[in-house]
Amino acid sequence: MRAVVQRVTEASVSVDGRVVGAVGQGVLILVCAMQDDSDAEAARLAAKIAKLRVFRDGDGRMNLSVRDVAGAALVVSQFTLAADLRGNRPGFSTAADPAEGKRLYEVFSARLAAEGVPVANGIFGADMAVRLVNDGPVTIWMDTDTL
């Protein structure tokens, strides 16, 4: 699985002008299931993000996790993270098929919640408007192939 994790002071996702998910301090996670991903990748990614120390401690160092700061996660499906950029028009053939992508997105969200992180979600496959205040900015790209 692939993810872009952004430390935020607030984030929300809307569909058809209606907010469907929002968080205050925490992380916005754009996530994509790739072909051949399984529940194991979803669980590993969720565990890594729950423990990822990207929040400032009392000395101003990135030393605390989203759990440590009692933050939350807004999880948004983002199949375009599978983009193949060999040409000028991205291809997405390495993304999981939509049914499996949705299932793994839901597994990822559930595993993140099981790690003790409150989770809000977008709507899989919907045309979403994402708003965020990136804190820092801190933005981290992750791929379970390299974890």
Residue 141 lies in a domain: no
Q: What is the mean pLDDT of residues 66-72?
A: 98
Q: Which residues pair with 73 in a beta bridge?
A: 27, 119
Residue 70 lies in a domain: yes
Check if the beta carbon of residue 57 is closer than 8 Å to that of residue 116: no
In a domain, 144, yes or no: no
pLDDT bucket at 142, cuts 50 / 70 / 90: very high
Domain limits for position 78: 2-136
- Look at residue 80 and tell me if it is in a domain: yes
The confidence score (pLDDT) of residue 35 equals 97
Which residues form the catalytic set?
A: 78-80
Q: What is the CATH number of the domain that holds 73?
A: 3.50.80.10
Structure confidence by residue, pLDDT tens digits, 94-139: 999 999 999 999 999 999 999 999 999 999 999 999 999 999 999 9
What domain count does the chain have? 1
pTM, 2 dp: 0.97
The answer to whether residue 143 is domain-embedded is: no
Give pLDDT, residue 77.
Answer: 98
